[in-house]
Structure 1
Amino acid sequence: MDRFRNTRQPDWDWWGKLWPTPGATLRRLGIEPGTTLAEVGSGNGYFALPAARITAPAPVYAVDLDESLLAELDHLAAQQEIENVRTVHGDARELDRILPESVDTVLLANAFHGIDDRETVLEAVRDALRPGGTFVVVNWADRPRAETTIDGESRGPPTDLRLGSDETREAVLETDAFSLEREVDLPPYHYGLVFSR
């Protein structure tokens, strides 16, 4: 199996210009107090940390292949006295096996475009969710990279990797494991899709 096609972890300054209020974005996507959540491809926690503040005391499982980013996330959580983040080193294709429990929500932000083995990942997401749980996909809009600029520089994945919301929706719904609840516009360059299991 091919490994996830990573398009590099941006620094926090970069994210802050794109997502100045990550907690507000997560709330728009339906993250609520008491929600157990797994973020796939969490990196060093730009979404996992605010998610944990919202869901506390319920856990947020931050899943990533990069142990150094998870170590950084552990450090940041300790600094910020956030006690409900649990880092999990592992592959999204094994999500249901590496999580210690089923969760209410799986979040996949800025990564769906890079997954080669989507069917296996989607099956693992389905099996990691509790019945009635939600799968939230946030992704870059299908626009040329030259048009998605931050501080005058083109940002985001290469144009040929980008998926529009229709293509992402079709890929998820093909599994017959999910139904679409809603689509959320996330300006300036993203969309969110909320699916229920």
Structure 2
Amino acid sequence: MERFQNTGQPDWDWWGKLWPTPGATLRDLGIEAGQSVAEVGCGSGYFALPAARIVEPAPVYAVDLDEALLDELGSLAERQAVENVVSVHGDARDLTELLPDPVDALVVANTFHGVDDRAAFVAEAFDAIAPGGSLIVVNWHDRPREATTVGGEPRGPPTELRMPPEETEGAVSRAAAFELDRRIDLPPYHYALVFRR
């Protein structure tokens, strides 16, 4: 069984059309200087790299199953002289084994919809976050894929995988003792839920 439904890794060009200032988005979501961060499903680092600049010298653990994307992230970090990104190859449901210590913030951007066993993942995430820390879930709104276009092309996961905020909140709150701190709209096509541990 495939644990995470891969809906394709977009290139930086169209991510830039959705989030021209990813660092500002991360700050809006509560990422602050000095926090340790883990990003699950980090891809080639569109959020991990700006997160590292915000929190340095604290670490950003960039977790992904795709070694090629982690290699690309490593090259980008080296070219940009970002030294506090730690690439972590592994399954996100093994976070407590993959991370050396609980983190202050765990970011799950554009991947929660593809997790098959969400309860197991959320329970593992809870244990991987320090007390008082946050789980940040960024998800596509549950609109038809043909309605979420970037550069004139439909983008994002298949329509049937998309989750309304209430479904995402329920999946998290049923699986672990997280408390919803706030919901943030991220135009044009996303929302974020910030949970406290």
User: Under TM normalisation by the shorter chain, which class is it?
Assistant: over 0.9
State the Cα distance separating 1:2 from its structure 2 match. Answer: 3.3
Matched residue SS, 1:34: coil
State the Cα distance separating 1:104 from its structure 2 match. Answer: 0.3
Work out the CA distance in 1 between the residues paired with 2:76 and 2:98.
Answer: 23
Please name the residue that 1:189 is paired with: 189
Please name the residue that 1:48 is paired with: 48
Matched residue SS, 1:174: helix
Please name the residue that 1:139 is paired with: 139
Please name the residue that 2:99 is paired with: 99
Please name the residue that 2:76 is paired with: 76
State the Cα distance separating 1:152 from its structure 2 match. Answer: 1.0
The amino acid that maps onto 1:107 is V
Work out the CA distance in 1 between the residues paired with 2:184 and 2:53.
Answer: 22
Matched residue SS, 2:57: coil
Work out the CA distance in 2 between the residues paired with 1:63 and 1:139.
Answer: 18
**Mapping of residues 168-183 of structure 1, within 5 Å:** 168-183=168-183
CA contact (8 A) 2:183 2:194 kept: yes
Please name the residue that 2:129 is paired with: 129
Work out the CA distance in 2 between the residues paired with 1:177 and 1:43.
Answer: 28
Deviations 1:91-116 (A, max 9, x none): 01101111111100100000010000
Matched residue SS, 2:94: helix
Matched residue SS, 2:108: strand
**TM-score, scaled to structure 2:** 0.98
The amino acid that maps onto 1:133 is G
CA RMSD of aligned residues (A): 0.7
Identity of aligned residues (%): 64
Matched residue SS, 1:39: strand
Number of aligned residue pairs = 197
Work out the CA distance in 2 between the residues paired with 1:33 and 1:149.
Answer: 34
The amino acid that maps onto 1:79 is R
Work out the CA distance in 1 between the residues paired with 2:87 and 2:101.
Answer: 14
Matched residue SS, 1:69: helix
State the Cα distance separating 1:55 from its structure 2 match. Answer: 0.5
Please name the residue that 2:65 is paired with: 65
Matched residue SS, 1:9: coil
Please name the residue that 1:13 is paired with: 13
Work out the CA distance in 1 between the residues paired with 2:19 and 2:165.
Answer: 19
State the Cα distance separating 1:176 from its structure 2 match. Answer: 3.7
CA contact (8 A) 2:148 2:189 kept: yes
- Which ranges in structure 1 are unaligned for 5 or more consecutive residues? none
The amino acid that maps onto 2:194 is V
CA contact (8 A) 2:38 2:103 kept: yes
Cα distance change on mapping 1:95 and 1:127 into 2, 3 Å: same
Please name the residue that 1:151 is paired with: 151
The amino acid that maps onto 1:188 is P
CA contact (8 A) 1:107 1:136 kept: yes
**TM-score, scaled to structure 1:** 0.98
Runs of 4+ deviating beyond 2 Å: none
